[in-house]
Structure 1
C-alpha cells in the first residue's frame, strides 16, 4: 500500500460523511385541528402548540385548512394582524413552509378577522445540530451523576460524525507514521 492510499481513503470517507443527511421533521400545525380559527376561549392555541414543539433548521411546517390562507409576516405585522406585503402567502389548503434559518417566524391567517380571533402563531427555530453531552469523570467523592439530556430526540449528522472519530483516528495515526 503506497503512502497516498490512506490519504485517498481518508478523503473518500470524509466526503461520504459530509453527504450524510440531516434528519428533519414535518409538523402538522395545530395537530388534528389544523389551521383554523380557534374557539373563543382558546385564542392562544397555536402559540401553545408551537411552544410544545422543538423546531430545528430544516424542519417543515404543514398548514392544513379549508377556505383560509397562511401568511408569514414580520413581528410588527403579526402584532397588527395585517400584512399588505407578506413574506410568504399561500391559500391552497395544504401549505408547506420550510424553516430554513434559526430565529422567530411569525404566521397569521390572511382572512380578515381570523388573526384577531387567535389564528396566529410564533415559531422559534433553533439553529445547528444538538451536540451530545459528554459525562465528566467521577469526582473524588465517588459521585456518579448523569449528564443532562440534550433536549432533542432528533438524530443529527453530528452524532454520526462523533461515532466515526475513532475510525478516522485509526487512519490518521498510520498515515502520520508513514510520513515521519
Structure 2
C-alpha cells in the first residue's frame, strides 16, 4: 500500500506535464517550407493536402514567406475562397513575411492576392480544433470564417465543478486511493 501513493503521484505529475505541453502555441510555416506560398505544381501538391495532415490549435501562429513584390495573402470568407474573389478580403497582408495568429476555433480561408494565382490553386483552408475550456464552454466560428460572437461562459455548478480531467479531480482520486 505504501508504494501506491508515490506511483499515483508520479502518474498524476506525468499526465499534468503532458497536457500542459500540448497547450503551448506553435509557430507554423505554411506548407512546411519558405517556398510553399505559390501556385502548386500539380493538383496533388496543394497546400490543402498539407493542411489536412496537420492539427491547428487556437493560439498557433501561421507564417507565410513569399516575394511581396509579386504576391500577397488574403483572409477571405468561404464564398470568396470558393470563387477566388480578391476584391473584399477580411484581411490583406503583403509584407512577404506574414504572421497570423489563429484566435478562435473553426475554419479560416486564405487565398493569394496575385492575379489568377487563386484560380490556379494558390489557396488554403485551415481548420482549427475547438478550444478546451475549463468551464466546459467553447467558442466556434461561423461558416464564413468570421469570429464568433462573444457569449458568457456557463456558471460553475453548485457541486464545486469537479470535472474528469481537471487537476482537482485527479488530485481527489489520488488522495482517495491513498486513503483506501
The TM-score with structure 1 as length reference comes to 0.60
1:88 CA displacement:
0.9
Q: CA deviation at 1:83?
A: 2.7
Structure 1 residues 130 and 48: CA distance shift in structure 2, 3 A: farther
Could you give the per-residue CA deviations for residues 32-87 of structure 1, whole angstroms, max 9, x where no partner exists? 23211111x23651100100100011111101111310000001100111131211
Say how many residue pairs are matched.
123
Match of residue 38 from structure 1: 40
**Residue segments in structure 1 that go unaligned for 5+ positions in a row:** 1-19, 132-159, 171-180
Give the one of 151, 155, 162 matched to 2:167. Answer: 162
Q: Secondary structure at the match of 1:97?
A: strand
Consecutive unaligned residues of structure 2, counting only runs of 5 or more, are: 1-19, 135-164, 176-180
CA–CA distance in structure 1, aligned partners of residues 80 and 89 of structure 2: 8
Aligned to 2:105: 102
Pick aligned residue for 1:91 from 90, 94, 102:
94
SS of the residue corresponding to residue 79 of structure 1 reads helix
SS in 2 for 1:36: coil
94 and 115 in structure 1: CA distance in 2 versus 1, 3 angstrom threshold: same
| 4+ runs deviating over 3 angstroms | none
- The alignment's TM-score, normalised by the length of structure 2, stands at 0.60
Change (3 A) 1:109 1:60: same
Structure number with bigger Rg: 1
